Amino acid sequence: MKFILITAFLFSCLSLCAQDFQLLNGNILMAKNGKVVHRLSYGYADFPSRTPNNIETPYNLASISKTFTATAILQLMEKGKLKLDDPFQQYFPEFPFPDITIKHLLSHTSGLPDLELFEPLIRQYPDTIVSSHILIGQLIASHCIPAFKPGDEFRYCNNGFVLLSLLVEKISQQSFEEYLQDHIFRPAHMYASFLYDPTGNKFPAQVSKHVYESFAIDTLSRVRDLKRYRYTDYNNDAATGASNIITTVQDMLLFDKAFFGFKLLKPATVQLAITPVKLNNGTYHTEKVMDTMEGEGEGSYGLGWELFDQPAYGKGVGHGGFKFGLATFYYHNLDNNQTIIAFDNTAAPSFGAVVTNAQRIMNDQEPITRDYKKSLARIYVTTLIKEGTDAAATQLTLLQTDTAHYYLSELEMNKAGYEQLYDYYRIDAALEIFKLNCLLFPRSFNTYDSYGEALNKAGKKKEAIALYERSILINPGNEGGIKELSKIKSR
């Protein structure tokens, strides 16, 4: 039965991947009791050069890296080098927040700011590459205040794990990469794993991250080649601890086996890592979502680990990761000793469905079938830019009734309009898109609001006023529209 289901799943994957790479562009591995049940590699590691993915292709783990940082901290705890309740300031006296402990950083309960911390610095110095070692200085210079008393709330914070990587370096007297190699990668036999080198001089074979540049372009581009992603992919892509471990699905399975085989930490410490952390009021932070996985269940957080409680499958742990153009997911079912590892270097919208179906297959359930439809917004805008208004309108008219294969999204049309207006400065194209969106979705206040904004930018004051007034009539609570209308009328 399981073989038949896996075969059906793989056929579905291959068919849908071949159709616009909608399902998976990357690697997935499924294991039971530490042994591979199946692994699949599909698509391209780099689209412009047509370099194919293979099962040994290295991927940036993104936030899955946090489980490694947490493991390093817990190893140092086992050796008596630190205590989780130690203030971070004990090790870095210049750190400006005496009440924040190591445990607060591990559990995202510190209240520290995230990547927005560096926005003023990068506005002033656009070529800045944020490294781990400038973080404490920026916390001091910003005069920021934690969003809440440490331990009161959960708020996801990458900077907390960057600080933890600095702590590993200070206590171990090794670079973070050296520590990972000596104490995690080699003991787990992860010989294809390393820490990202932002200069690109080391280990250049890792995948490229890909996105669609805009709705007017139907081919994938490297994220690093697009200016709009510079803040995240250039300025903020060098720090360690929260991200930037590079590995393969096979090496990730070796980590899974070593961690849950107690080769990296003692059993009691493993249990500590995957136990939900209590807030100051004695409750646990929980969410009715489970990161990448779909379906019923509840999520919470331990020490560098996401925790999943699913009625149909029991308890699981792991972590998800995301960068623009990249999605990663690692899952270990504690009750059934099942492991799923999935990487995609297009961050495809269906990535969650891939992971969910892998879990269903592992439990002798048929995959959920989906209607993977094409975006009419993308087709319309692409045709508009390439062939003009009439050709685009014709395409839309011919395809709009074929709801079995195409979908039309107001939000996608709106996004496409703003791309043309502000990214490409094609005011005429933007006006055409916003106008059509109003006709397609006449009950939406937002379509009129956006069209009014574009008309105002085009210098058509009278028409802009009329559109803003219509938007406010539909939604009297549109405060942004009310302010803009007042500005236009006062000129």
Q: What DSSP string describes 190-251?
A: -TT-EE--TTS-S-TTSPPPEEES-TT--SEEEGGG-GGGHIIIIITS---SSS-EEE-HHH
Q: Does 80 lie in the same domain as 25?
A: yes
Spans of the chain below 50 pLDDT: 1, 3-4, 11, 14-21
| Residue 437 buriedness (CB in 10 A; 0-12 / 13-18 / 19+) | buried
Q: Does 191 lie in the same domain as 283?
A: yes
Which residues are bridge partners to 251 per DSSP? none
Look at residue 219 in the predicted model and tell me its pLDDT: 84
Residue 175 DSSP class: -
Give the residue from 328, 363, 398 where a domain finishes.
363
The residue range of the domain holding 128 is 1-363
Give the residue from 342, 363, 384 where a domain finishes.
363
First to last CA, the chain: 72
Look at residue 204 in the predicted model and tell me its pLDDT: 53
Give a yes or no: residue 212 inside a domain: yes
Report the C-alpha gap between 186 and 191 in whole angstroms.
7
Give the residue from 335, 363, 391 where a domain finishes.
363
Q: Does 226 lie in the same domain as 87?
A: yes
Structural domain count, the chain: 2
Give a yes or no: residue 368 inside a domain: no
Look at residue 250 in the predicted model and tell me its pLDDT: 98
Look at residue 6 in the predicted model and tell me its pLDDT: 55
Closest CA to 289 of 298, 301, 280: 298
Q: Does 394 lie in the same domain as 296?
A: no
Give a yes or no: residue 370 inside a domain: no
Q: Specify the amino acid at residue 58.
A: P
Closest CA to 447 of 407, 486, 482, 474: 474
Q: What is the largest CA-CA distance in the chain?
A: 72
Q: Does 321 lie in the same domain as 197?
A: yes
pLDDT digits (tens, 9 = 90+) for 20-75: 445 789 999 999 999 999 898 989 999 999 999 999 999 999 999 999 999 999 99
User: Which CATH number does the domain housing residue 485 bear?
Assistant: 1.25.40.10
Give a yes or no: residue 280 inside a domain: yes
Tokens of 421: 């207006």
pTM assigned to the model: 0.84
Q: Tokens 């969650």 correspond to what residue?
A: 352
| Residue 358 buriedness (CB in 10 A; 0-12 / 13-18 / 19+) | buried
Look at residue 1 in the predicted model and tell me its pLDDT: 43
Q: Which residues contact 97 (CB under 8 A, 6 or more apart)?
A: 88, 89, 110, 112, 139, 146, 150
Look at residue 354 in the predicted model and tell me its pLDDT: 86
CB atoms within 10 A of CB 191: 12
Contact call for residues 307 and 299 (beta carbons, < 8 A): yes
Three-state secondary-structure class, residue 309: strand
